[in-house]
């Protein structure tokens, strides 16, 4: 018996073999990316390349699938490796602890059969998307999941056909400014976000007097978005639309 025994009933033996021989790259191991990455592990993907520079902190524990008291202050990539091997000891994992910047985004793109963009920050996100488009890579991107608690309002659409989502709007604007018109699939929500708040411990110490607003989050929407991203990636790898 193997952990993919029930999965094989759905995908078939040929489908499982295809996944075992596939590589998926996930950029960002926040609430969305962590959910997507571990779902790919459970689905039987043989190699996963993950990129994240951050550590697990207390505010992650309300939505990070591998966020626990026992993993606080540990690198997210290292926690993912341990968790993934607890599911599938044979899985191959490639880790990168780099931050995706503008000038070097193209160099941060892994060699993979499919890519999942789960980066939170706007500038790195747009630069990664442009690098993936220029490489003609197969990918899907996650838009905003903060401040929401209704996962049933998540959808998949082309970036140019999204609405409501503020992050989608900002991404489209950046792409237009860079002369990018090509479409690509994204997961976004039709739900209006709650308003961010001013948390005293989130003030920007490098810029005295400037307040940093903090967006809320829940376990539901980020993790559900990750599941959708992983499902989409697996379907594309298996040629199932």
Confidence grade of residue 19 (pLDDT, cut at 50, 70, 90): very high
Q: First-to-last CA distance in the chain?
A: 29
Render pLDDT for 96-134 as a digit per residue (tens, 0 to 9). 998 887 778 888 999 999 999 999 999 999 999 999 999
- Identify the structural domains of the chain with CATH numbers, from first to last: 5-237 (3.40.50.720)
Tell me the pTM.
Answer: 0.94
Runs of H (alpha helix) within the chain = 5-20, 31-43, 76-87, 122-134, 166-177, 220-237
Alpha carbon distance 159, 150 (integer Å) = 21
Phi/psi at 17 (5° precision): -65, -40
Mean pLDDT of 151-167: 98
At residue 192, the pLDDT reads 96
Please state, in angstroms and rounded to a whole number, the distance separating the CA atoms of residues 119 and 226: 12
| Residues 6 or more apart whose Cβ sits within 8 Å of residue 231 | 39
Q: Is residue 202 over pLDDT 70? A: no
- How does the average pLDDT of the chain come out, rounded? 94
């Amino acid at each position: 018996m193997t952990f993919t025994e029930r999965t094989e009933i759905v995908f078939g033996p040929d489908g499982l073999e295809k996944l075992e021989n596939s590589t998926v790259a996930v950029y960002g191991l926040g609430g969305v990316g962590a959910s997507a990455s571990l779902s790919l592990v459970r689905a039987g993907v043989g190699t996963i390349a993950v990129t994240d520079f951050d550590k697990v902190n207390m505010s992650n524990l309300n939505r990070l699938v591998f966020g626990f008291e026992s993993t606080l202050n540990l690198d997210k990539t290292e926690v993912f490796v341990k968790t993934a091997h607890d599911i599938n000891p044979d899985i191959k994992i490639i880790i990168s602890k780099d931050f995706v910047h503008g000038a070097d985004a193209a160099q941060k793109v892994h060699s993979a059969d499919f890519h999942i963009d789960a980066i939170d920050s706007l500038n790195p996100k747009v630069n990664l998307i442009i690098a993936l488009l220029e490489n003609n890579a197969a990918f899907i991107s996650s838009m905003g999941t903060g401040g929401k608690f209704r996962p049933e309002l998540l959808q998949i659409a082309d970036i140019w056909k999204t609405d409501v989502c503020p992050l989608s709007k900002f991404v489209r604007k950046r792409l237009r400014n860079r002369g990018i018109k090509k479409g690509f699939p994204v997961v976004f929500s039709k739900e209006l976000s709650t308003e961010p708040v001013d948390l005293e411990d989130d003030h920007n110490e490098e810029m005295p007097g400037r307040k940093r607003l903090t967006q809320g989050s829940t376990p539901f929407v980020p993790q559900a978005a990750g599941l959708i991203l992983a499902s989409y990636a697996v379907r594309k790898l298996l040629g199932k639309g």
